[in-house]
Chains A and B, each alone.
Chain A
Amino acid sequence: MRRAVFRNPWLPYALVAPQIVITIVFFFWPAFDSLRLSLYRASPFGDRLIFIGGSNFARLFGDPAYFRSAATSLGFSLVVTVGGLAVALLLASLANAKIRGLALYRTLLLWPYGIAPAVAGVIWLFVFHPSFGVLPYLLSFVTTYQFNWFLKGWVALALIVIAAIWKQFGYNLAFYLAGLQAIPGSVLEAASVDGAGPVRRFFAITFPLLSPVTFFLFTLNMTFAFFETFGLIHAVTQGGPGDATSILVYRAWKDGFDGLQLGYSAAQSVILMLLVIALTAVQFRYAEKKVTY
Chain B
Amino acid sequence: MSRNSALAHGILVASIVLLAFPLYYAFVISTQSLDEVTSLPPKLAPSTHLVRNYADAWARVGMGRLLLNSTIVALAVALGKIVISLLSAFAIVYFDFRGKQLVFWMIFITLMLPVPVRIVSTYQVVSVLGWVDTYWGLTVPLMASATGTFLFRQYYRTIPDSLAEAAQLDGAGPLRFLWSILLPLSTANIAALFVILFVYGWNEYLWPLMVTNSQEMRTAVIGIDSLIPRTSQLPEWNVAMAAAMMVLLPPVAVIVVMQRWFVKGLIETEK
Query: Is chain B a partner of chain A in the same complex?
Result: yes
Bound Cα distance A256, B117 (Å):
12
Segment 99-133 of A: residues with Cβ below 8 Å from B: 99, 101, 105-119, 122-127, 129, 131-133
Is B94 a contact of A265 with CB atoms below 8 Å? Answer: no
Is B118 a contact of A166 with CB atoms below 8 Å? Answer: no
A27, A34, A272 pick with most chain B CB within 10 angstroms: A27
Is A99 a contact of B8 with CB atoms below 8 Å? Answer: yes
Q: Taking the nearest CB of chain A, how far is it from the CB of B30, in angstroms?
A: 10
Is B15 a contact of A173 with CB atoms below 8 Å? Answer: yes
Is A113 a contact of B244 with CB atoms below 8 Å? Answer: no
Interface membership of A207, Cβ < 8 A? no
Is B25 a contact of A109 with CB atoms below 8 Å? Answer: no
Contacts of A26 in B (CB 8 A): 122, 125, 140-141, 143-144
Segment 88-135 of B: residues with Cβ below 8 Å from A: 88, 90-97, 100, 103, 106-107, 110-114, 116-125, 129
Is B117 a contact of A265 with CB atoms below 8 Å? Answer: no
Contacts of A132 in B (CB 8 A): 37-38, 40, 42, 235, 237
Segment 212-234 of B: residues with Cβ below 8 Å from A: 221-222, 224-225, 228, 231
Is B248 a contact of A116 with CB atoms below 8 Å? Answer: yes
Segment 180-230 of B: residues with Cβ below 8 Å from A: 199, 202-203, 205-206, 209-210, 221-222, 224-225, 228
Bound Cα distance A85, B245 (Å):
27
Bound Cα distance A8, B253 (Å):
44
Interface membership of B54, Cβ < 8 A? no
Task: Given A5-B164, A18-B88, check contact A110 B125 (CB 8 Å).
Answer: no
Query: Which residue of B94, B97, B124, B140 is within 8 Å of A30 (Cβ)?
Result: B124
Interface size class of A (residues with CB under 8 A): 35 or more
Is A234 a contact of B205 with CB atoms below 8 Å? Answer: yes
Is B84 a contact of A114 with CB atoms below 8 Å? Answer: no
Is A114 a contact of B41 with CB atoms below 8 Å? Answer: no
Is B209 a contact of A37 with CB atoms below 8 Å? Answer: no
Task: Given A4-B94, A23-B144, A127-B25, check contact A33 B119 (CB 8 Å).
Answer: no
Bound Cα distance A29, B127 (Å):
13
Bound Cα distance A18, B103 (Å):
12
Interface membership of A202, Cβ < 8 A? no
Is B1 a contact of A97 with CB atoms below 8 Å? Answer: yes
Contacts of B116 in A (CB 8 A): 227, 230, 249, 252-253, 272
Bound Cα distance A170, B19 (Å):
7
Contacts of B143 in A (CB 8 A): 22, 26
Bound Cα distance A2, B165 (Å):
12
Bound Cα distance A13, B15 (Å):
51
Bound Cα distance A116, B112 (Å):
23
- A242-265: CB near B (< 8 Å → 1, else 0) gives 000000010011001100001001
Contacts of B19 in A (CB 8 A): 108-109, 112, 166, 169-170
Given A4-B95, A123-B22, 7 more A-B residue pairs with CB atoms under 8 Å apart are A27-B118, A113-B199, A114-B251, A115-B203, A115-B251, A231-B206, A256-B119
Which 10 A-B pairs give the minimum distances between C-beta atoms?
Answer: A231-B205, A4-B96, A30-B121, A116-B203, A15-B91, A12-B95, A114-B252, A114-B251, A33-B121, A272-B117
Can you give 14 A-B contacts (C-beta < 8 A)?
A: A6-B174, A13-B97, A22-B144, A31-B113, A31-B121, A113-B255, A114-B203, A118-B221, A129-B237, A170-B15, A231-B203, A235-B228, A252-B119, A265-B119
